Structure 1
Amino acid sequence: KTKYTSILDTPDFLRAKQGQKIQSQIIYKLEYNKAKPKGYTTIHDTPMLLHVRKVKDRISDVKYHEEFEKSKGSFTPVVTDPITERVKKNMQDFSDISYRGIQRRVVEMERKRVDQDQENLTVGYKHAKTIELPQQRSSSVATQQTTVSSVPSHPSTAGKTYRAMYDYMAADADEVSFKDGDTIVNVQAIDEGWMYGTVQRTGKTGMLPANYVEAV
Structure 2
Amino acid sequence: MNPLCDRCGRVVYPTEKVNCLDKFWHKGCFSCEVCKMTLNMKNYKGFGKKPYCNAHYPKTNFTCVADTPENRRLKEQSKMQSQVLYKEDFEKSKGKGFSAIADTPEMQRIKKTQELIGNIKYHEEYDKKMGGRPHSVPVNASQSSQPSAASQNFKHEPTPAPVQAAAAAAAAPPPSAGKRYRAVYDYAAADEDEVSFVDGDVIIDVQQIDEGWMYGRVERTGHQGMLPSNYVESI
Q: Per the shorter chain, which TM-score range?
A: 0.3 to 0.5
Larger strand percent: 2
Q: Which of the pair has more CA radius of gyration?
A: 1
Scaled by the length of structure 2, the TM-score of the pair is 0.38
Scaled by the length of structure 1, the TM-score of the pair is 0.41
